[in-house]
Structure 1
Amino acid sequence: MLVLMFASVLMVEAYVNAEFAPDSAQTTGGAGSIPESVQNGGPIIDTTNGGARSFGLPKKTIALTFDDGPDPRWTPAIDAVLRKHHVPGTFFVVGTQVARHPDIVRDLVNAGDEIGIHSFTHPQMVKLPKWRQEIEYSHTQMAIVNATGRKSNLLRFPYSSTVAAIDDDNWKLMRDAGRLGYLTILTESDSKDWDKPGVDKILDNATPKDDTGTISLWHDAGGDRSQTVAALDRFIPLMKERGFEFVTVSEGLRRTLAERDPAASVTGNPPATKADRQRGLALTAAIAIADRTVDGLAVLFLIVGVLTVIRTLALFILAARHARKRRSAAWTWGERVTDPVSVIVPAYNEKEGIEAAVQSLADGDHVGGIEVVVVDDGSSDNTADLVRAMRLPNVRVVQIPNGGKPNALNTGVAMASHDLIVMVDGDTVFEKESLGRLVQPFADPRVGAVAGNVKVGNRNSLVARWQHIEYVIGFNLDRRLYDVLRCMPTIPGAIGAFRREALRQAGGMSHDTLAEDTDVTMALCRAGWHVVYEERARAWTEAPATLKQLWTQRYRWSYGTMQAMWKHRRSLFERGPSGRFGRLGLPLVALFGVALPLLAPIIDLLTIYGLVFLDRTETLIAWVAMLGLQFITAAVAFRLDKEKITPLWTLPLQQFAYRQLMYLVLIQSGLTALTGARLRWHKLRRAGTAGAAAPAGVAGVQAVGPVPVVDPVKPLGRDELVRPRGVASVPPNPYLDTPAQRDQDFLQASKHGILP
């Protein structure tokens, strides 16, 4: 509905903004089927009721006619000259301008001037089909009715001139117009003010050569009309001195007809009916809506441009500063962190990738020791069995009823033995050095959490390549910026590290939003902890391989981000670290994470509009410039991340499909948030290809033999926290197989409502 509405509005705007050249282009031609009475007659042509008559003005009379208005500057200036000399004028108006400046036309009528029709968009009428010609007349008529409450029976075609210039095509136009009740008004003397030849030349062109009555052509729009105003101010007194009288076109025609029939009556602007006024109001309202909409889009386009430039400059400056600082030989987080680490892996139906994920974690080279806690969140496949069958000594498996990812993470934290906690998605594999690098920032006691570098592992499809580009530019480059500004809004669920104390102060992982990682990160920032980015700690994840899966994932992400922003909105007004994050971090997320993506479709919308209705060359140049800016940003991001730039060949294609999908996702998320609808968690299908593009040696999993059959859904009892049912023997686990550890685990789990 939004697309249809905008398309309709833009079509209206394109129609009413059709560009036209001034009346300098005049039709030339001659006879043919044109009656002799018309060829040798006057400039007023009557083809109503199937007739073919022409009339001129009486001697010593001049009808001043003005084309192409109204213009908000020049029409009032010209009318002021007419009022000064107490003479009337006949204004042949363009309908689109009447709709936009109805008050000017209303003032003209109130002052005694006459209004004629000059088409709605000023096209070459002979090139239009008949139905479009009639629309040009009727729409202008409706605009005049709305402005004045009166209609017009006078019509002058754009680019028309004298009787001598009528050709067969124009004669057909006149006959068709006559069937609709219009009198065609041509000219006899042309001031040629459209050419701006100078005041003296305009006077010479407009001055009659004898005492014959004349319809004189001037212009009150279409450019600078200062020469017209000056010439008119001299022309009227000169003609009055010669004894000429100034009349409107209909008054001149009445006088001509009165010479034959004293009772003849001519009304150029008869009153309109109520139905005519209603139609006029509807048309004017539609144009006003289109104008305001496009004006608003232009403002938003400017905002988008400014935001894009600001974001690009900020990324270049701050990301480059971040990279230079980290590359410095003197850079260090402090003393090497050798404390043991507990890795929490929440898993729900992750059989495709869980073995590779767990193997990569268990094989990490962190010198302090690694404990892996796999929390099976009520999986209906054999996720837990696959992990148990691997028989890794530093891996623990806990099965709980399905309660959502935050509950699984909190369970893992409760079961963890150490104070440094790493949280990893079940479809993510780590490089061997990643765990050790990820926890090094904890050498700084102010650091409460660390975001790692997420990489797309499955880059074989076009959709996945686009996400790879997005991860490098939109996520990892942004994290460098947020790191420098100390307002990191999100630690990715695929690779993030936390101090247990920081998690405790933040209240743990919350069910309040669908983006628990963003929620907890914002809470940490508000609590005063530093949240930093360690780009050397890399994890490889499996991105959605289809547009449908991508939609599902991003819908949840964007909606969850909006929820988290709303949840932490009070930080905007608080003091201390919370206020600092609220007045820096939240606006950045709102501007660059929500507003800019929401407004970005305007670029594409106006690009299409420009290609169809405006200058194609200028539009293409602007679009290519925007694409070039994105290429530069992408090249910088790929260089900082030490990625090959080969995938960037898909960036132009990304503009035509991927970006539009992201627009719609964000719009849907916004509407969901505004309506208060609830969104459930959607599980994505995995293919176990997270490590497909990872360096050699990452996530290699060997076969471990048959998997024992157990019930994975039923909650485990106290003893089964240690030794799963159905497994004959399990290698000793230094973290589990002690009575004291078992009692502690059972008590911790009971506090979290994990066990019956």
Structure 2
Amino acid sequence: MRTARPADGVVALTFDDGPDPTWTPQVLDVLRRHHVKATFFVVGTQALDHPDLVRRILAEGHEIGLHTLTHVDLGTAPEWQRRLELREAQQVLVGVTGETTALLRPPYSSDNSAVDDALLSAMRSAADGGYVTALATRDGEDWRRPGVDAIVRNITPSGRAGEVVLLHDAGGDRSQTVAALDRALPVLQADGVRFETLSQSVGMAGAMSPASPLDRLTADTLVGVLRFSDWLIAVIGAVLVLSGIVTALRAVLVVGAAARHRRDRARHQPGEPVLEPVSVLVPAHNETAGIEAAVRSIAASTHPVEIIVVDDGSTDGTADLVESLRLPGVIVVRKENGGKPSALNEGLRHASHDLVVMVDGDTVLEPDAVHALVQRFADPRVGAVSGNTKVANRGGILGRWQHIEYVIGFNLDRRLFDIAECMPTVPGAIGGFRRSALARVGGVSDDTLAEDTDLTMALARDGWRVVYEDTARAWTEAPASLGALWRQRYRWCYGTLQAMWKHRGALVQSGAAGKLGRRGLTYLLAFQVLLPLLAPAVDVFALYGLVFLDPLRVLLVWLVFLAVQLAMAVYAFRLDDEPIGPIWTLPLQQVVYRQLMYLVVVQSVFTAAAGTYLRWHRMDRYGSLRVPVASRVDA
């Protein structure tokens, strides 16, 4: 390596960090006024944002050098990043001007005495790529903003030796730089100082040369990609802000509604108890793993019930097993396989009572669940009541995650829907209905894969009030594998989209239907469709920020988000009288489980948009259910 210095009496003015739309034009104006040529070391991303300024620099006779693509410290960067920074910065210059440059100034460099081993390694690497590294002999230190007089002193040569002067035309307020130049240049010229570009000052044949047609094509492609990525990052940034606002809004809504729901229930004065018998319908298809526990739990109810088990074409002896139990008040109805809606409608035809409770075959009820559920029918406006579904098999990490989702997500949402009178779903695991209300809407429809959501929305559009009873607890088996979980949630999400589309007319209706449409459907669209669709982009942007932006800032945002989730979790678990032990898995849930659920929504939306028919997915049964022996099952 060798060093070249400007000839005696020659000063090469150099400017770093630009171009800047405010200060670069002012610097150029001063140089033109005093007939001075200089060298501008441009940052690739800045050149991409302000191509007209780069072209003006060349048009006015100045030359350009590279200051990397993103102003990275080449001394600390790995070799692959060094090459990438220089290559992409060069291609940006070619794309903007059609010319290449051989000049490079590493960011955070100054004079020869400041070169350490790391910077020397970067300079050697750049030399292998054909670059001449330009350091400085005098630092104007304008980045400190020391005052115009100090900058003038810093850039004034102390003798006749040639100088390379370092200044900045970007990176902050450069008004002192502009004023110092305007004052110093005529004085120095009067003293006989000649100002030349850097390449001229050291006798280089020329730092810049026209790019080849292939290089121009490559550069144009890169510039297009970078401009698109800038636009995409701006959009994703806006999405990130919007998602944060939406998430915070949902947290405020559900927590506020849950608090009000609790206060309203505490102030509620119970009227005459509802004591009339209830028909409990249990649709079953190949449910031998859990049907005994389900039927025995219902038979142990503190409320008078008749139990109608509808065997929907089982091939595993489900009906025979129920009959062998010889439990009083249990009726077994056998039919050909026709799906869950047809089984429920068949059960309704055999029901003896006006109040009906529907229970899945993989669900067990607490002894007082039916009684608690039907008390809400003391209000004649109520057509359906949602119970409180609990995850029974919560021993593994996947079970804990689903348990958290049920408590924080489903049950907090149901309290909000109850307050807002826009309940969109009474879960199939436990739900109470007026038989007369079901008759008015034509029974259980098979138009969608989410028959419970479809039925609930139909009742609301018919003018019925749908409420939530958190003390009516039922315990259900959750999927025990990721594949089973994906199939279940895919069906739920796809069916919910079908139901939302089917009942979209509620948006323009009045009364209870309008509340469902403008409150319930809007909430589902915002928080269960749009937000999950945006979430993958937010996660990708977060990873991008950890690598290329400020990782501490990104981590802080994530920690704030996690803190909000933890606070909601603790509150929701207290409302449901649940021990908070499983909450320790929440951070990992946000990293793994949440993304899985978001991808389910993405797939469901694309499937629905493509018009693809999704067949029914039956969930695996594990036989983990047990009949509750008290009013609460230990976690």
* Shorter-chain TM-score range: over 0.9
- Rounded Cα–Cα distance in structure 2 between residues aligned with 1:691 and 1:209: 92
Distance in 1 of aligned mates of 2:450 and 2:392:
22
Match of 1:658 in 2: 593
* One-letter amino acid of the structure 2 residue matched with residue 198 of structure 1: G
Alignment TM-score, normalising by the size of structure 1: 0.78
Report 1:18-417 matches (<5 A): 38=3, 42-43=4-5, 56-57=6-7, 59=9, 61-127=10-76, 132-162=81-111, 177=126, 180-211=129-160, 213-253=162-202, 266-328=205-267, 330-332=268-270, 334-366=271-303, 369-417=304-352
Cα deviation, residue 603, structure 1? 5.6
Q: What are the residue-to-residue correspondences of 1:696-735 with 2, within 5 Å?
A: 696=630
How many residues were matched structurally? 633
CA contact (8 A) 1:90 1:249 kept: yes
RMSD: 2.7
Any idea what SS the aligned residue of 1:661 has?
helix
Alignment check: 8 A CA contact 2:8 2:160 kept: no
In structure 1, list runs of 5 or more residues that go unmatched.
1-33, 44-55, 258-265, 700-756
| Structure 1 residues 612-640: Cα deviation after superposition (integer angstroms, max 9, x where no partner) | 44545444443333222222111111111
Amino acid paired to 1:490: T
Assess if the C-alpha contact under 8 Å between 1:376 and 1:383 holds in 2. yes
Q: CA deviation at 1:339?
A: 3.0
Q: Are residues 430 and 230 of structure 1, via their aligned partners in 2, closer, same or farther at CA, if it must alter by over 3 Å?
A: same
Query: Residue by residue, what CA displacement relative to the aligned partner does 1:78-137 show, whole Å, maximum 9, x if unpaired?
Result: 223334444333211122322333232123223333211223333443555666544433
Give deviations 1:584-626, integer Å, cap 9, x for gaps: 1111111222233343445654554444445454444433332
> How much does 1:211 deviate?
5.0
- Aligned residue number for residue 716 of structure 1: none
Contact 1:540–1:691 (CA under 8 A) maintained in structure 2? no
Counterpart Cα distance in 2 of 1:151 and 1:126: 23
Any residues of structure 2 matched to 1:449-598 within 5 Å, and which?
449-598=384-533
Query: Is 1:99–1:143's contact at 8 Å kept on the other side of the alignment?
Result: yes
8 Å CA contact 1:65–1:91 kept in 2: the answer is yes
TM (normalized to structure 2)?
A: 0.92
**Structure 1 position 351, deviation (Å):** 0.8
Give distance in 2, aligned partners of 1:163 and 1:470: 61
Larger radius of gyration: 1
Q: Deviations over 1:186-245 (max 9, x none)?
A: 333321212222110000111123455543221112332222122122222323333444
AA aligned to 2:174 is R
| 1:629 aligns with one of 542, 547, 564 | 564
Query: Given that residues 319 and 480 in structure 1 are in contact (C-alpha distance below 8 angstroms), is that contact kept between their aligned partners in structure 2?
Result: yes
Contact 2:465 2:512 in 1 (8 A): no
- 8 A contact 1:325–1:331 mirrored in 2: no
> 1:349, 1:380 within 8 Å by CA — same for their partners in 2?
yes
Distance 2:226 2:46 in 1: 10
The secondary structure found in structure 1 opposite 2:165 is: strand
- 1:389-428 residue CA offsets vs partner (Å, 9 max, x unmatched): 2233422222111111111112212222222221110111
Indicate the larger mover: 185-194 or 516-525.
Answer: 185-194
Match of 1:704 in 2: none
- Of residues 678-687 and 662-671 in structure 1, the stretch that sits farther from structure 2 once superposed is 662-671
Instruction: Sort the Cα spacing of 1:421 and 1:179 in 2 relative to 1 into closer, same or farther, 3 A.
Output: closer
Q: Secondary structure at the match of 1:338?
A: coil
Deviates more, 1:432-441 or 1:611-620: 611-620
Following superposition, the deviation at residue 319 of structure 1 comes to 0.6
Counterparts of 1:293 and 1:111, CA distance in 2: 34
Counterparts of 1:360 and 1:340, CA distance in 2: 16
Task: Choose 606-615 or 549-558, whichever is displaced more.
Answer: 606-615
Q: CA deviation at 1:526?
A: 1.8
Q: % of aligned pairs identical?
A: 53
Shift of 1:138: 2.5
Alignment match, 2:356: 421
Equivalents in 1 of 2:549, 2:541: separation in Å?
Answer: 10
The 1:284–1:408 alpha-carbon spacing in structure 2 relative to 1, beyond 3 Å, is same
Q: Pick closer, same or farther for the CA change 1:310–1:208 going to 2, 3 Å.
A: same
Amino acid paired to 1:93? V
Counterparts of 1:526 and 1:136 in 2: how far apart (Å)?
A: 60
Q: Name the CA distance, whole Å, in 1 between partners of 2:125 and 2:622.
A: 69
Which blocks of at least 5 consecutive residues in structure 2 are unaligned? none
Other-structure match for 1:48 = none
CA distance in 1, matches of 2:369, 2:115: 84
User: Quick check: 1:67–1:221 contact (8 Å CA) kept in 2?
Assistant: yes
Counterpart position of 2:382 = 447
Does the CA-based 8 Å contact 2:16-2:166 persist in structure 1? yes
AA paired with 1:75?
A: T
Question: How far apart in 2 are the matches of 1:548 and 1:74?
Answer: 59
Structure-2 separation of matches of 1:689 and 1:459: 10
**Structure 1 residues 418, 129: closer, same or farther in 2, change over 3 A?**
closer
Summarize the Cα distance change of 1:163–1:652 in structure 2 as closer, same or farther, 3 Å threshold: closer
Rounded Cα–Cα distance in structure 2 between residues aligned with 1:168 and 1:474: 56
Deviations 1:434-493 (A, max 9, x none): 212211211111111110111122222222122112111111121111100000011000
> Whole-Å Cα distance in 2 between the matches of residues 205 and 212 of structure 1?
15
AA of the residue aligned to 1:543: A
* Cα pair 2:368 2:631 within 8 Å, conserved: no
